[in-house]
Structure 1
Amino acid sequence: MKAYWQLTLAQLRIFARNRQVLFFTLLFPIILMLALGSFLGNSGGTSISIAVIDHDESSASKALLSNFQKNEAIQLDQSNSVDEALDELKTDDYQVVMEIPKGYGKHLQTHAEKSKALDLPVYYNETNASASQLGLTVVTSAVDQVSKNIEDYSPVVAVQPKGVRALDIGYIDFLVPGIVAMMIMNNNMNGVAGQISAWRERGILRRMQGTRLKASTFIAAQITARVLLNGLQAILVLVVASLLFNVQVNGSWLALLTFVVLGTLAFMAIGFIIAGLAKNPESAGPIAAFASFPMLFLGGVFFSINSMPEYLQPFVHVLPISHLSTALRETMNVGTPFLGLWPHWLTLVAWLAVAFTIASRTFKWE
């Protein structure tokens, strides 16, 4: 146990004394987040443009429109032609187009005699899912309020859209979990591969092997030091994001840190594989870069996985960073509980088990 703590503290001292390591592991992700967040952080469809065609023109339809006008994030336009509004919808001038049918006001007055809610046609652009779904959420909320305002509430007006659900978040909310996933991958896969290869070439590993030090103790100390480093960095990134961009962790901090640990272990195991395959430190870097660079763009770090071509989807959903970034994003943005994210932590555990098995066979002391 004494050797374990000594190796852990020694590894942390190595990180602290190397200014380049401190910069790239602690400051670089924050600088990247600040750069992207400053330019793109406020994007994400916070202004919703809605076109309404009011065929009824009753006091009830005007009351519905006033519900939309109370929302400062909504830009409401009234149109006389459905076809013209749909043409503008196709060019992204509007996120949603809604029709208020003739007889809307009369239906509200006689709703007690009717068993079926009145459907309001609502159109949205399927090629712009994020903005469209946000618009649908706003429309549904306003329409539902009409029913709630009626005594003895029962649904008398309903929106029946077709499409997928999208989150009401800005790009900075999407970006921060991806930055955390990126730094976990780089710190462990790239860092372990380079460090272990360098120690092997300098004979440090051979000298360790000649002592009573067990390989399990050496690996455990490496894991502990890097888990502490990644946990510190993740907390630092999240604190900066909260202070500057008001990014919040809506889910459990324990679940968030659990995924940080799982990601650290999985990518460390991959790093040990690369260190075992590389003949020297000069080759370890390119091999690690060859593995990590595609994952930056295919793993959901900067771009949504769902927006990628369909032929890439099966490959993307196997990558460990795609599950790590999605799990962190679901925990932070949506507040999904840990058990609800079982496909992601189960996949990371599978990567850890397989990579550790391969690493144990490829690892060389000298």
Structure 2
Amino acid sequence: MGRVWHIAMKDLRVWMRDPAAMGVLLGMPVVLILILGSALGGAMDSGIKVAVVDLSRGHSTATGSAKPPSDELVSAILESERLADLFEIEQLPTERLAREQVRDGSIAAALLVPAGFDEDVASGRPVNLVVLRDPGSELSAGIWESVVTAFAAQFSAASVSVQTVMETVQRGNPSALMAGGGALVAKAVEAVTSDDGLDGVKVVDAQVKGLTAVSAIDYYGLSMVAMFLMFGAMFGAFSTIKENREQTLNRMLSTPSPRAQIVGGKMLSVFVLGMMQFSVLYVATRFVFGVQWGGDVLATVVVAAAEMLAVTGLATLIASVAHTERAAGGIGPLVVQIQALIGGAFFSISVLPDWVQPVRYLSVVGWTMEAWGAIQTRGAGLTDVWGSVAALLAIAGVLFAVGVWRTEALR
């Protein structure tokens, strides 16, 4: 064990004497999380940019109403305080301008109130609303379309109710229909566009007991840490390849020391460096950026340690496959990025189809994010994440065994 420790301390001293490498390893993740957090924070503070175009404005006004149904609808949308919390709504004069702004990405979506809207409402016919969507802002456009759908549903309900009442009145007293039909339509339109009418359709945000709501910066704070811990594999691989090029590794392999001890020393240095990196990133994200890591610090650290053990095995494997620093510089980042991509570092795996989601279990980042996500959102403890920890330790064991076997190829 003493020889393993000496090999590890020798590597750590070499790395500590390289301030540029330490700056990349410790400083770059903090800067990236800061930039990502600022960008996400700005995006979340601003509303979704959408527009409304009333092509039916002033075409038809029901008897007893001060303004056309389309004006009632547009006013209700523009003046709604609840919608103002989520959207930046602009009224545009023409359909052409709305299409141009959707096309160039200035707005996520636009509502077109067609030219025949007033007449359809006044006569009790089905109402049609058109939504123009930017394919590049699918989520934001979908939210706007759901709001428009809610308004359309209310108008449709009012239209059906008015039509039913008018048919009933017509059978009993046609003259009364002629006198009060327009006023009935006007009252129905006013009802669905008033503040009380807007309360007819509500979206209630209810928290499930035992779950913690997390923001985008909370998610990406954890995922970026999980990804950057993987870059520790690069340092271990470069160190091993450099020693092989300088014949230092060959001299160690020619000694009576078991190969497992030599590889173990290399892995231990990567592990210690990775845990130092995790400590810095944990403190920075939690206390500077306010990222929620969950309540069980011990479980979080154990998962980080398990990931680093897997990373050290990966470092050994990369070094045994790439015989030059240039080759390691090409293979290492590719492996890390693939692991981060399929593990959910860049987006939540839940957005993928169900049959694709299990691919995360091929990734060290995937197992780490599953455990940290449970600690963060469900308040999981150490006993709840043993499955992920065991998987990471198994990966570490396999990679270590392959690394020991492949080390002979470096001689």
- CA shift, 1:255, in A, is 1.1
Is 1:92 matched with 2:137?
Answer: no
1:64-90 Cα deviation digits (max 9, x unpaired): xxxxxxx9x988xxxxxxx999x9x98
2 CA distance for matches of 1:314 and 1:203?
A: 43
Change (3 A) 1:342 1:41: farther
Partner residue of 1:323 out of 367, 374, 382:
367
Query: Is 1:203 matched up with 2:247?
Result: yes
1:81-103 alpha-carbon deviations (Å, 9 max, x no partner): xx999x9x984149897x9xxxx
Say whether residues 1:293 and 2:362 are aligned partners.
no
Superposed CA offset, 1:163-211 (max 9, x none)? xx986211110011112111221112x2222221221122111111233
Name structure 2 gaps, 5 residues minimum.
Answer: 48-81, 87-126, 132-139, 154-199
Q: Work out which of the residue numbers 228, 231, 245 in structure 2 matches 1:186.
A: 231
Alpha-carbon RMSD across the aligned residues, in angstroms, is 4.0
Structure 2 equivalent of residue 171 of structure 1? 216
Question: 2:230, 2:336 within 8 Å by CA — same for their partners in 1?
Answer: yes
Which amino acid is 2:361 matched to?
H
Is 1:231–1:260's contact at 8 Å kept on the other side of the alignment? yes
**Greater displacement, 340-349 / 209-218:** 209-218
Equivalent pair of 1:250/1:335 in contact (CA under 8 Å): yes
Matched residue SS, 1:137: coil
2:313 and 2:396 in contact (8 A); partners too: yes
Query: Which one-letter code corresponds to 1:11 in the other structure?
Result: D
Question: Partners of 1:5 and 1:272 in 2: how far apart?
Answer: 17
Does residue 345 (structure 1) correspond to residue 389 (structure 2)? The answer is yes
The residue identity in structure 2 corresponding to 1:228 is V
Q: Which amino acid aligns with 1:38?
A: S
TM-score by length of 1: 0.65
Q: Do the aligned partners of 2:223 and 2:344 also contact (CA within 8 Å) in 1? A: yes
1:131 maps to what in 2? Answer: none
The aligned residue for residue 206 of structure 2 is: 137
Identity %: 22
- The answer to whether 1:276 aligns with 2:320 is yes
Give 1 or 2 for the bigger CA radius of gyration.
2
How far is 1:325 from its partner?
A: 2.1
- Residues 46 and 213 (structure 1 numbering): CA distance in 2 closer, same or farther, change over 3 Å? farther
Counting matched residue pairs gives 286
Residues 146-161 of structure 1: pairs in structure 2 closer than 5 A: none
Residues 84 and 245 (structure 1 numbering): CA distance in 2 closer, same or farther, change over 3 Å? farther
Amino acid at match of 2:205: L
| CA distance in structure 2 between the partners assigned to 1:191 and 1:271 by the alignment | 8
Q: CA deviation at 1:288?
A: 2.0
Residues in 1 aligned to 2:305 and 2:380: alpha-carbon distance in whole angstroms: 18
How many Å separate the matches in 1 of 2:146 and 2:289?
26
Does 2:59 align with 1:15?
no
Q: How far apart in 1 are the matches of 2:257 and 2:201? A: 69
| 2:371 partner letter | A
Which residue of structure 1 aligns with residue 178 of structure 2? Answer: none
> 2:347: which partner in 1?
303
Q: CA deviation at 1:321?
A: 1.3
Residue 264 of structure 2: SS of its match in structure 1?
Answer: helix
Letter in 2 for 1:35: I
Structure 2 residue aligned with 1:361: 405
**TM-score, normalising length: structure 2:** 0.59
SS in 2 for 1:363: helix
Partner of 1:56: none
Residue pair 1:269, 1:355 contacting (<8 A) in 2 also = yes
Gap change, CA 1:231 and 1:44, over 3 Å in 2 = farther
Answer yes or no: is 1:314 the counterpart of 2:365: no
Name the structure with the higher helix share.
2
1:311 CA drift (Å): 5.3
The structure-2 alpha-carbon separation of the partners of 1:268 and 1:123, relative to structure 1 and needing over 3 Å to count, comes to farther
How far apart, in 2, do the equivalents of 1:316 and 1:166 lie?
22
Give the Cα–Cα distance (whole angstroms) in 1 for the partners of residues 404 and 292 of structure 2: 39
Paired with 1:257 and 1:95, the residues of 2 have a C-alpha distance of 42
Contact 1:42 1:170 in 2 (8 A): no
Which amino acid counterpart does residue 26 of structure 2 have in structure 1? L
